[in-house]
Structure 1
């Protein structure tokens, strides 16, 4: 499967030839880094980054940076349809090159949607370098969530989720149950503030995986900024054998209400179709239940 995946990627990739040097330089000047894509990549540890920097300063950048040739509309930046060049692989190398004004080569890739780009980035990271157990779990979980998102939120898609977990489990040599736990871990990490999430994935912050998995099932109004908040106020209701204090329960319920109100407003202000209407009904029912229980 990996071989097939990489073969398909070669078809999407075009290395810029030396004769197109002026075009390549023009593209380099327009490269855009999107936080939502950069943050999909587990961070390097400090010593790994330092070693990469030393290697680049000594030998230059050996591998090309991968750039998605697209439009702002396809990248979900705005509605413009002019050319856009988004960095999707080589963020650390790009940062070092920018800092020291070093040259590098680029490969252009073409995808139809942002979801396809995310799926590629996740799969590519899983196959290219040594990862910690937490980083591997996060990426496998993201892959599952991405596949789930691409299938949509209807009943038939929900029934097919088990097949997705089983398929990914076979691909990565783990059980479907492990894939679903990975998905909880990834969903929990996505509810952390970006800096805290990166600290957890890089190993700077040590948090129990059960605490992070638990937050995936908890409605929160805004990203968790502090590790202590996660341990003391959010994870406890979902960890077997633990209970929140009364104050913690009130805080959790308020957060759920605020989060639901925000989600409902966002859904109502967007384009309405069968899927979003179903989500609106479900979220409104959840909000009504919480408000009645106050």
Structure 2
């Protein structure tokens, strides 16, 4: 059969670097194509790099059909889960994939909810059951996203900010590992023109730009606000820190009260001793 390469599917996951591609090519030339390519009908879903290398060198390969795919969204979810389980992808890539998964899951849940609220139609219900259209677990909290991406909640918030606000040049820099997620999130607070200029100036200028943002305490403009999730996270952190401070002050106050009570008791004891001494020393 003729294998069809869907360019959107091929580009859905970030491509290998030149070094990674060369390493894969050397491995296939030495050991052959060990893993089967995954197909959906005649569409290639997984194994684009291996397929290209095998065709280039005329090497044999195996294919396998995934019969569970019912829609392109099923394909995307499968691809995301496959890559989230791999250690080779970066933290930024994992965060982006988890955010993509959240969008697909939200759309799927909305679709299932709409179907369930529609008037009963046995034919449609049977079709939905055979297609496996059930509402997947939601990823509507920072904790759920962080768990899916194997990241911290703060990292997920920063990656979402980069994805929404960062200029393409800054996104490319963090993908390449030129700057950290933390630095890229700081730079994303700047106007787009400043982001582009910093990225064009190179790694050192990007780091300096991030440092200036942190030191100045510059807040994002209304057009580049980090969003409700980050605001909620910051508010939650502030409330928690205040609670901890109140608890510490309460404990300190209680300790001071005990010290005052102890001092008062000592003073009373000393006063009583002084009175007794005065009584015994007075002339009869």
Pick 1 or 2: higher relative contact order, CA cutoff 8 A, min separation 6: 1
Q: TM-score under structure 2 normalisation?
A: 0.50
Larger helix share, 1 or 2: 2
Q: TM-score under structure 1 normalisation?
A: 0.49
**Structure number with bigger Rg:** 2
